[in-house]
Structure 1
């Protein structure tokens, strides 16, 4: 199965267990892919057999401006819901990364990786 994906979409959102994370916001990074058959679109050079990834980018940017929640798990669920609403029931994979987790002495990143409808694609 083919896929269309987006890597490293940076979003500012008010998500986190700590009060200041929800109040002040912080950076997140999102990678996602949607699996579909792109053969007809590729052969005919016709977008009607594909999907418009810019619509997904805009939808996730909009969501990040309005979301207020405790967990990245919940934030990722809302993202998957948005992608389902846009493209229907297609195999979808998403990784949501918190760019700076507030853990003393930790400089890494924390992420959740989710999929729906059996979707999994390496980006």
Structure 2
């Protein structure tokens, strides 16, 4: 399977267990790996035959800012679900959602979750 990668997408959002996280917000960083057959766009050289990266970023921003979630696991699931619903040619998506300012008393770079979802696991509403 071919892959498109988008790394380091920064989104300011309001997710967290603590009230102040949902009131004040904080930055999140996402890495996305999109599993898609790229054979056709490799031959046609047409953007219509692939997944538009700018649109993907818009979908991710909307998913991250449209609702407030207590867990980054839930936010990552929403990102994956929206991408799979929007792009019929997307076979698999991995979302790595990083929370650099998690309010825990430890010296760390960031906490993160990584989820992978496949087309057969998505239910259309």
Bin for the TM-score computed over the shorter chain: 0.7 to 0.9
Is the Cα–Cα contact under 8 Å of residues 102 and 110 in structure 2 kept in the other structure? yes
Mapped partners of 2:94, 2:86: distance in 1: 14
Residues 46-100 of structure 1: CA deviation (Å, up to 9, x unaligned): 2232111211101111222222111001111111111112113511111000011
Per the alignment, residue 83 of structure 1 pairs with: 83
Per the alignment, residue 123 of structure 2 pairs with: none
Mapped partners of 1:59, 1:117: distance in 2: 17
Distance verdict in 2 for CA 1:105–1:93, change over 3 Å: closer
Per the alignment, residue 97 of structure 2 pairs with: 96
Per the alignment, residue 59 of structure 1 pairs with: 59
Residues 85-123 of structure 1: CA deviation (Å, up to 9, x unaligned): 2113511111000011111232320000000118xxxxx
Residues 14-59 of structure 1: CA deviation (Å, up to 9, x unaligned): 1001110111101100011211121221122122321112111011
Mapped partners of 2:39, 2:78: distance in 1: 30
Unaligned runs of 5+ in 1: 119-123
Is the Cα–Cα contact under 8 Å of residues 64 and 79 in structure 2 kept in the other structure? no
Per the alignment, residue 5 of structure 2 pairs with: 5
Between Structure 1 and Structure 2, how many residues are aligned? Answer: 118
Unaligned runs of 5+ in 2: 120-125
Q: TM-score, normalised by structure 2?
A: 0.86
Per the alignment, residue 110 of structure 1 pairs with: 111
Q: TM-score, normalised by structure 1?
A: 0.87
